[in-house]
């Protein structure tokens, strides 16, 4: 049985919209947000809520999974 998820990763096509959802609706706090110097990621952010860390990778042409 799972007791806690400590870390997970999400790929998004729009960092602002994704952060608005996770911070504004769910209540996560942004720990840091950076633009890497090299592809494939356009931006990376770490957010946290109650000890759960979510790493978000923004890729402009990310294809949604149906």
CATH number at residue 33: 3.10.180.10
- Residue-wise pLDDT for 29-44, tens only, equals 999 999 998 888 899 9
Burial degree of 59 (CB within 10 A; 0-12, 13-18, 19+): middle
Q: Is residue 1 part of a domain?
A: no
Give bridge partners of residue 55 from the DSSP assignment.
Answer: 9, 46
When divided into structural domains, the chain yields a total of 1
| Predicted pLDDT at 34 | 96
Give the predicted TM-score (pTM) of the model. Answer: 0.82
Q: Which residues of the chain have pLDDT under 50?
A: none
Q: Is residue 63 part of a domain?
A: no
| Predicted pLDDT at 40 | 84
Domain that holds residue 16: 7-58
| Predicted pLDDT at 15 | 94
């Amino acid at each position: 049985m799972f007791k806690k998820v400590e870390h997970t990763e999400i790929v998004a096509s729009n960092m602002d919209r994704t952060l608005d959802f996770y911070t504004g609706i769910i209540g996560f706090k942004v720990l840091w947000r950076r633009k890497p110097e090299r592809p494939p990621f356009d931006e990376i952010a770490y957010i946290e809520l109650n000890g759960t860390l979510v790493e978000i990778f923004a890729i402009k042409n990310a294809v949604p999974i149906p």
